[in-house]
Amino acid sequence: MTDLPRSQHIVASGLVAAVGLWVTYVSYTAEPAAAFLFPRIIATVFVVLALWTFGKALLGRTRVGNGLSVEALKNILPGLIVSLIYVFWAAKTLGFYTASTIAFFVLLSLYDPAPHGEVRTWGKRIIITAGFLAVMYSLFAMLLNVFTPRELLF
């Protein structure tokens, strides 16, 4: 076995840990503090798990597979691009619920194996997306009372 899969695991878990540290820092320094209670809890758990995984990777105590193939990277790349656009632009510019709905619909359309040439499958995607939006709104706005980025539509 070569060191390539282990190196990929170290780099990937290191990047995730760095993002986790950044998100945790932002959640603890953002104002108003009361609006960020739920994100602080989630960010703290996320960063602890990410640092644990990174530490295990550095020590060589992880079970690594064959690494990330070019084919797997091609499958992941569209979702990664949509996610980056969502996180760094759309959520703040379009509002959380609008951007989440668009991102979910795009990801569902990209990864749904159903044929794209049939009206019935597009209707199914729209219904699933509407259900997703209803769950997101119920969870964040009504149940958890969490502050979400608000702009264009909501």
Residues 6+ apart with CB under 8 A from 46: 20, 23, 24
**Domain with 113 in it:** 69-154
Contact 110, 78 (CB under 8 A): yes
* Pair 77, 48 in one domain: no
Structure confidence at residue 1 (pLDDT): 43
pLDDT of amino acid 64? 63
Q: Kindly state whether residues 61 and 89 are assigned to the same domain.
A: no
**What pTM was estimated for this model as a whole?**
0.66
Looking at the structure, do residues 86 and 150 belong to the same domain, yes or no? Answer: yes
Q: What does the block give as tokens for 54?
A: 């990174």
Could you give the number of structural domains in the chain? 2
Question: Measuring CA to CA, which residue among 82, 9, 85, 21 is closest to residue 51?
Answer: 21
Residues 88 and 153 in one domain: yes
Mean pLDDT by groups of 10 residues along the chain of 154 residues: 69 90 88 76 92 90 71 90 90 86 96 94 96 88 70 52
d(C-alpha 96, C-alpha 149), whole Å:
5
Same domain membership, residue 81 and residue 26: no
d(CA 66, CA 74): 16
Peptide bond into 149 cis (omega under 30): no
